[in-house]
Amino acid sequence: MSIINQSAIAKKLNVSRATVSKALKDADDISVEMKKRVWDMAEEMNYIPHYHARRLHFQETKTIGVIVPDVSNSFFSFVIDGIMDIARLSGYHIILTVSREKADTEKDNILTLLSMRVDGILLAVSRETKDTQIFDKIKRSNIPLVFFDRAVDYSGFSSVGIDDRGAARRLIDFVVRCGYQRIAHLGGSLLTDIGRNRRDGYLDSLKRHQIPVREEWIIEGGFTRTDGYRCFMKLYQTDSMPEVVFSANDQNALGAYDAMKELGILFPEKIGVVAFGHHEFAKIITPSMTIINVNPYNLGKKAMEIMLQRIKGEDMHEQKIFIPAEIEIGESIRIPEHVAIN
């Protein structure tokens, strides 16, 4: 593909590149006639301005790099919608990349975005991410970074998420109030902060209610539908089954649904399911799912708002922001009429 630049237009018109550049910028020292000649030739040659070159002249590109682990997960689709809505209102464009839960791919994405001179990076880390050296490079580059949903323990960057440990504790407290005692956990990756915190909240609630911990019912897996299926099948191999499973997220829970259907296990009649999730997804599956609603759209909006503060230099101190998360009732567990949500 042939890219037409200003020099090519100048050659066609037998004028200097500086004249073409000024004409395209509507400079006062270029005649109306010359501006028309330049614009007509630019249209004829299908000239497309170099977006980044123009922006870099003003020390900005008006672009934000976004890195998500998985675009097949509808949770991240809603996060991206929230980010894009705030970005658009503020005159910014989004460059979306996907790590596919691979630390190496995530690092490559970061380096690519830095080379593109983005004004900031929004990142939900992969489940493999352990090495923080790449974040040293971002800090040295003076590029703002904001973690969303998933973060690593790294000083100097803000994060936006929910109180995963507290939310897990509240969800399991609710399950216990519904009369369940035998509760298993199909966990996310313990390499991620959300995987660890959601497991710890589950353990906190069991301890509070003096329910014995059964290690064989705590199965580390991941955040995909396949992970949930695999984890439930492993749970099925234990000596006895729980009354309810608590999944690290709704995709993991959907995999548990798949496994139970394959095994002929009725749910919620035999085994109930609760999970971290979001409203739009929880209501369209059958049976509808009881969740702690993470509200990904609001999470994305807040992450982009914090990014804009960083870019403008309005608030440069490190923040750890939690957005509200509430229990939403579905059909995936039995709930006695007298039990209140909170």
Residues 164-192 pLDDT 10s? 999 999 999 999 999 999 999 999 988 88
Are 26 and 63 in contact by the 8 Å Cβ rule? The answer is: no
Q: Is the pLDDT of residue 265 over 90?
A: yes
CA end-to-end span of the chain: 61
| Average pLDDT, integer, range 76-104 | 95
Q: 10's torsion region: left (phi>0), alpha (psi -120 to 50) or beta?
A: alpha
Q: Is the pLDDT of residue 342 over 90?
A: no
DSSP 109-168: HHHHHHHTT-SEEEE---TT----HHHHHHHHTT--EEEESB--S-TT-EEEE--HHHHH
Q: Is the pLDDT of residue 142 over 90?
A: no
Q: Rounded to an integer, what distance in angstroms lies between the CA atom of residue 52 and that of residue 33?
A: 28
Residues 2-48 pLDDT 10s? 567 888 888 888 999 888 888 888 888 888 889 889 889 888 888 87
Residues 125-139 pLDDT 10s? 998 998 888 998 888
Q: Which of 142, 328, 101, 39 is nearest to 227 (CA)?
A: 101
| Average pLDDT, integer, range 84-92 | 95
Distances (CA, A) of 314 to 37, 48, 308: 44, 34, 9
Q: Is 181 strand, coil or helix? A: coil
Residue 130 has which token pair?
Answer: 């352990």
Question: Exposed (0-12), middle (13-18) or buried (19+): which is 92, by Cβ within 10 Å?
Answer: buried
Q: Which of 104, 83, 102, 106 is nearest to 93 (CA)?
A: 83
Are 183 and 172 in contact by the 8 Å Cβ rule? The answer is: yes
Across all residues in the chain, what is the average pLDDT?
Answer: 91
Residue 68 has which token pair?
Answer: 């998500």
Q: Describe the chain by its helix, strand, coil percentages, rounded to 5.
A: 45, 15, 40
Q: Is the pLDDT of residue 341 over 90?
A: no
Domains of the chain in sequence order: 6-49 (1.10.260), 63-162+296-322 (3.40.50.2300), 164-294 (3.40.50.2300)
Q: Is the pLDDT of residue 233 over 80?
A: yes
